[in-house]
Structure 1
Amino acid sequence: MTDIAHIRKSYERAELNESASAADPMQQFDQWLNEAIASEVPEPNAMTLATVSSDLRPSTRIVLIKGYDERGIVWFTNYSSRKGQQLAGNPFAALQFHWVELERVVRIEGRVEKVSDTESDDYFNSRPLDSRIGAWASPQSQVIEGRGTLVANAARYGAQFLLQPPRPPHWGGYRLMPELFEFWQGRKSRLHDRLRYRQDAQGSWLRERLAP
């Protein structure tokens, strides 16, 4: 097997300190996300979504952020998928962005709720036609006989809906309403910068430095 124990990297690109960080974590997130986009890192909008099943087993997958504001972080998916079923039973989740080239990680934790039908309709109707058909064609997370099943489903729904497929009732958006943020900036000698924001009883954000 490949020896990976000695793979190491020295993190020396930037720093993160209290005086230069925003008091509001969503503003700090907005700054870092826009810097990731401007730096043209691969898929800056990709995030790991962690959920927990009813038997307390965690699972993760990559999803794409599709919106964010003071209310929270939004993505869209199949409500009947594994993650959808887990969120129905336990509406708490964690998100993680890893911008490798910038040596940065953002972690966000909070409660999850479905977005409004209007938000889901608006985003669904903005998608390319093949993606809208794909939302009907894929019984996400279910066992299928082979890729031919997806191709046949896509052809069937394409013929049924032509250019105007409606949003499937099992498809829409989720919003994670943040209760905790952590911003991680890689530093030399493994003395990384970690700033955590958490809400107090009044809903105000407290900023704290964590040991790496």
Structure 2
Amino acid sequence: MATSKVLGYLESSKNLAGGACGLLGLVLTFTGVAGPYWPVVVAGLYGAGALIAPPERPALPDFPSPSAQLDAVREDFAKLGGYLTDVDLPPALRTRLTELTDVLGALLEPGWVAEVLAQDPEAVHALSRAVRQDVPEAVDTFVRTRWWTRLAPGAEPPERHLERQLDLLRQEAERLAAELGETEARRQESHTRYLEDRGGNRNGELSA
């Protein structure tokens, strides 16, 4: 470990900058400027060079990119689909669940939509949370609660809660899709203004 530290310092910007300044001190020595104090001059210039050199910057952690995160969410969405297929749901709830998963699946579809999504880390996080936490937790809680209500009839139907949860999650997913669509619309408007400004500037140059 000590050897690696020494080698690391020898390759560092501080040592390189100090060595360059120390070399300048040797030049001053050979030209007679440093005089008998040349060791002090060389050492001082080396130290000054090492001090003014920028500090070494550790490499940033290699976190997965938003696109790579989307790939992982897409795999988990496939697993979620297998789980949801095995769950026994009333037809009305199955319809609502399908409406939700259709929106989530469309957002995760590989292609230009996913490319737009990958540019928004908050959107990727929201989609990941829906797939990995919100949907499975809502369905699993319903399954467990329904078993208890069968033992104690008269309690509030768990179907009502799951129906509301699925509606809220679908609205959230649709809102996310709408926001991404607005981002694309703003990009289109910006390109239109750019072309208009460019055309106006060119017309002004021609008239001049």
TM tier, shorter chain?
under 0.3
Determine which structure has the larger helix proportion and give its number. 2
Determine which structure has the larger strand proportion and give its number. 1
If asked which structure has higher relative contact order (CA below 8 Å, sep 6+), I would say 1
- The structure having more radius of gyration, on CA atoms, is 2
